[in-house]
Amino acid sequence: MSNLWHSCVLKFFKYAPSYVVCLCFMPCGLIFGYTISSFIAERNLRTELIDYGPLILGACLALLVALCMLALKYLKRCIIYWQPYLLMGVGVFHLLASCFYFADGFDHVGAYLSYVAHSVTFVAGYSFLLTMSSKSSRSLLMSGCCASYLLGMAAAVSLIGGSYVKNLDKYAGQQTTPTTEQLIDGIYVNFAATYLSIAVVVLAVLVGLKVLHVLGTVDMSNSLDNDLRIANANGSIFESRQEVIKRLQFFYVTRNTQWHVTLLLLFVEAVQHALFIYLVFWFALNESMRLDDLAHVDAMCWVICAGSILTLLFAYFCSLKIIFVSSAVLQLLVTVLAMILYAVCETKLTFWLLLLLFGLGYSSLQLLLLEVSAIRFTELIISISYGLKLLSISIVYFYFVSNGQNSYFYAKDESTLMAQGFVFLIITALLALVVGMRLPRTHRTPLLDIQYDVYGIIFKKHQIEQLNVRWLNDGTIPTISQ
């Protein structure tokens, strides 16, 4: 029994840095939930640049941090694990930002500070987990980040939505219609208290983790991926494709598809996130498609969060590529079923299942994008992905949500609703097809092996003995499963 306990403690401290980084995404999820809630609550106010200012600042800062980390990699020619220091600075910004949400009219100031922390966490957190995790834990930990993020989002929507509904009830008996300013008065106070508490806990845990690292209890500077750690130590981690081909003993090389696949995934992820945001707003605001009354609109976010938690279970047994394609195919079937049932009996039960499937596939594209991208440019790819996500939120809100006269988004007639369903079917089918056909196998595969696959290096030295002589004679090159 004592040996079992000792083994569990050692394993916990082995993965402790990764667990803490996953926890750092929860306050970021609170900020995302605040953004969604504020856009909904304040949609009748005049939209100005200040409403998009925090998102613009976050995108610019993410790019700046990524460029700094890229420059450091070029200078040191290896990965320097300075992300924990960035995350401790992020904790301070979360702490300061939470204080501004207590006062009415200062939530915009808090939003600017929050998005400083939000952007840096995305770049530093994903970068740290990708290179620190072992091949067997990488998908689980990255999925855990997204689950933590969506958990924070659901909590924020619940807190802000609950306060908003209280204000609605407060002014319900009056003859005059309450103004938007009256309805949003004090709705961020409960959110601020929760945000402050979580920020304090995260900052304390990060400081404690650094102390344990100094004492030698945990290791935050060496990757659990053995091949990656060795390559980082001997300086071969950033070798170009030509250098890899010269060094490795190989049998067959095809064309390099790394940047092709990376750019394709960036586009696919941006479109998928835009669909996600569109459906969240649509199911919350369109009177014909609203899944629940305004007082319980946060239930949608909890369903999405539940889907992301299911991903943690499935990621242990199969690759995130299979999870995403499977969830997309199920979305197609559920959408068709939902359109039929809604037209016949106006039931919306199947739309809840659609949200669950969105949560199931939420984390897949983020990890797949990072796995196939060049290790040297990981942070840059994360910042571009992050910027595209913020851009999709802004575009969906500006062109659809904020315009109350939008005949497409707020449509009530059945023909327009069906047209939106068909558009969703076409886009989802294309995304599933692209991901299913273009992405390599990455499940429980070391990062360097994934790099070689997208480089086009096929049949490395240990695989030559598996080839059949007849294949060599007639020129057939079979695919060997690793």
Selection from 327, 152, 129 nearest residue 225 by Cα:
129
* Residue 355 contacts residue 327 (beta carbons within 8 Å): no
Q: Which structure tokens are listed for 267?
A: 């586009």
This prediction has a pTM of: 0.91
| Rounded distance between C-alpha atoms, residue 420 and residue 455, angstroms | 39
Task: Give pLDDT tens digits along the chain (482 positions).
Answer: 667 777 787 888 889 999 999 999 999 999 999 999 888 887 766 556 567 889 999 999 999 999 999 999 999 889 989 899 999 999 999 999 999 999 877 888 899 999 999 999 999 999 999 999 988 889 999 999 999 999 999 999 999 988 888 877 777 767 666 777 777 778 889 999 999 999 999 999 999 999 998 888 898 888 888 889 989 988 888 888 888 877 776 556 778 889 999 999 999 999 999 999 999 999 888 888 888 777 678 899 999 999 999 998 888 888 888 999 999 999 999 999 988 888 888 788 889 999 999 999 888 888 899 999 999 999 999 999 999 999 999 999 888 888 777 778 888 888 888 888 899 999 999 999 988 888 887 888 889 888 888 888 775 544 444 444 444 455 554 444 33
* Residue 244 contacts residue 450 (beta carbons within 8 Å): no
Rg (CA), the chain: 24
| Rounded distance between C-alpha atoms, residue 26 and residue 29, angstroms | 5
* Residue 419 contacts residue 219 (beta carbons within 8 Å): no
| Rounded distance between C-alpha atoms, residue 121 and residue 30, angstroms | 13
Q: For the residues of 20-56, what is the DSSP string, one character each?
A: HHHHHHHHHHHHHHHHHHHHHHTTTSPP-HHHHHHHH
The single-letter DSSP state of residue 77 is S
* Residue 55 contacts residue 394 (beta carbons within 8 Å): yes
Residue 216 backbone class (left: φ over 0; alpha: ψ -120 to 50; beta: rest):
left
Selection from 389, 371, 373 nearest residue 381 by Cα:
373
Q: Which structure tokens are listed for 181?
A: 């300013």
pLDDT at position 369:
92
pLDDT at position 47:
59
CATH number, domain 15-459? 1.20.1250.20
| Rounded distance between C-alpha atoms, residue 424 and residue 272, angstroms | 10
